[in-house]
Amino acid sequence: MTSTTRTQLTLADDLLALLRSTRTEPRPDEQLEALTLAVAADLPVLLWGEPGIGKTAALTQLAESLDLPLTTVIASVHEPSDFSGLPIIGEDPAEQGVPMAPPQWAVQLVRAGRGLLFLDELSTATPAVQAALLRVVLERRVGTLQLPPGVRIVAAANPRASAADGWELSPPLANRFVHLHWVHDRDVVVRGLGGVWPRAELPSLAPERLTEAVAFARQVVCGFLEARPTLIHRLPSTETRRGSAWPSPRSWEAAMTLLAFGTAAGVSRDVLALLVRGAVGDGPGLELLAHLDRMDLPDPEKLLADPAAAELPARGDLRQAALEAVVAAVGARPERDRWEAGWAVLARALETGAPDLLVAPAATLAALRRDDWEVPDSVERLTGVVGVARRSDRSVARAAGSVARAAGSRR
């Protein structure tokens, strides 16, 4: 090799080094935040995504950000014995048995005491290899070797349609993971190719909220499963869905853990939705989130007790649910003062939100009126809403007429 050739190769290496030189910045990224929180919660995570979407790059950057040594194991090129251990003959097999020697990568993880174990190409691993991985993922054991608590596990897989000789994940293995669907974000890719990628950061857990977060997570999950016991364990009927997230006592425990971590870290609802659905599946996860929203609704009795200070949810669906709960509370114990307080709550809602959300609650509340109950002044501001709600309803008509007559007499 001539000196000129060596010089050109050196320059080529310098150019490659410049191209590979990137930096990170704090930037909102929901899927990266969900991944980091699940890793912090010490739950195995499985990233699903098309080839070339950036799953491996995200894991490499995550390991660097968390200062964890990254150990990558391509599951599809290994034998079951690489995970269950290789049998070796000892000095006295008849007395001591045949020990199962762990592979080198597992020994290195134990020596380091911490690390990020990345099981790549999981969907191209044969069923026999998937079976051997069960103990690795759940019990953190490789042969006779116990992986230290400082080791986190993340896997990646391509959907079967885009995987080379792909297999569906076995239900026992799939049920051990939190499944996150990895998609590319245009702005992240463009800015990253420009040299700046979002930084993965551990969630900031508030120490004063830890006990409260655990109690809250247990209350939410246990309360939901008491109301929906058929969702405690539901094995999907199709092979494809069995290879993804589905509800079981194990995955509900993972959802509870994620809910506690998310509450203590104050993550957004969107991040929490990614995690909960990734643990128990889309349907049960969405039902749990709806249950969570209902728990956040204000107590209707407190709203009736002090309508002028009523704090109603900003989100439209939650606001309407809160108003309907107020009307239902009045209907459960229909008394004149409670009926008038109900109208005062609706008037308060009109001051702070969209009037179209009041149509159904106003119509229902008007129908609760007794003949000897006078229409309160607060109804005057709601006459139009009540009229739109049910023009044919006699109670509404009487209420609207009384308001009109009262307004005319004051003129």
pLDDT digits (tens, 9 = 90+) for 196-207: 888 878 888 989
Local confidence band at 410 (pLDDT 50, 70, 90 cut-offs): very low
Weakest-pLDDT range from 71-85, 254-268, 391-405: 391-405
pLDDT band at 79 (very low <50, low <70, confident <90, very high): confident
pLDDT of residue 12: 92
- The amino acid occupying position 68 is L
Q: Which of 32, 17, 20 is nearest to 198 (CA)?
A: 32
- What's the confidence (pLDDT) of residue 26? 81
Contacts of 172 (CB under 8 A, 6+ apart): 134
pLDDT value for 407? 46
The secondary element (H helix, E strand) that includes residue 47 is strand 45-48
Quote the pLDDT of residue 98. 67
Q: Among residues 29, 25, 3, which one has the least CA distance to residue 268?
A: 29
pLDDT for 155 beyond 90: yes
Q: Is 80 exposed, middle or buried (0-12, 13-18, 19+ CB in 10 A)?
A: middle
What pLDDT, on the 0 to 100 scale, is given for residue 334?
92
**Arithmetic mean of pLDDT over the chain:** 85
| Separation of alpha carbons 41 and 361, rounded Å | 42
What secondary structure does DSSP assign to 362-406, as a single string?
A: HHHHHHT--TTPPPPGGGGGGHHHHHHH-TT-HHHHHHHHHHHHH
| 222 confidence band (pLDDT: 50, 70, 90) | very high
Q: Is residue 394 over pLDDT 60?
A: no
pLDDT given for residue 388 in this prediction: 45
Task: With residue 25 as reference, give the H or E element that holds it.
Answer: strand 23-25
More confident residue, 15 or 161: 15
Using CA atoms, how far apart are residues 396 and 54, in angstroms rounded to an integer? 60
Alpha-carbon distance values, 248 to 217, 283, 404 (Å): 17, 13, 59
Q: What is the pLDDT of residue 406?
A: 47
pTM of the model: 0.74
pLDDT given for residue 395 in this prediction: 53
128-137, 256-265, 346-355 — which is least confidently predicted? Answer: 346-355
Inform me whether the pLDDT recorded for 39 exceeds 90: yes
Is the pLDDT at 253 greater than 70? The verdict is yes
d(CA 137, CA 323): 47
Residue 337 in this model has a pLDDT that exceeds 50: yes
Average pLDDT (226-251) is 92
Most confident of 26-35, 101-110, 265-274: 265-274
Which pLDDT score is estimated for 100? Answer: 73
Q: Is the pLDDT of residue 382 over 60?
A: yes
What would the two tokens of residue 119 be? 């099981």
**Percent of the chain with pLDDT strictly greater than 90:** 35
Asked if pLDDT for residue 49 goes beyond 60, the answer is: yes
Residue 208 Cα to chain centre, angstroms: 23
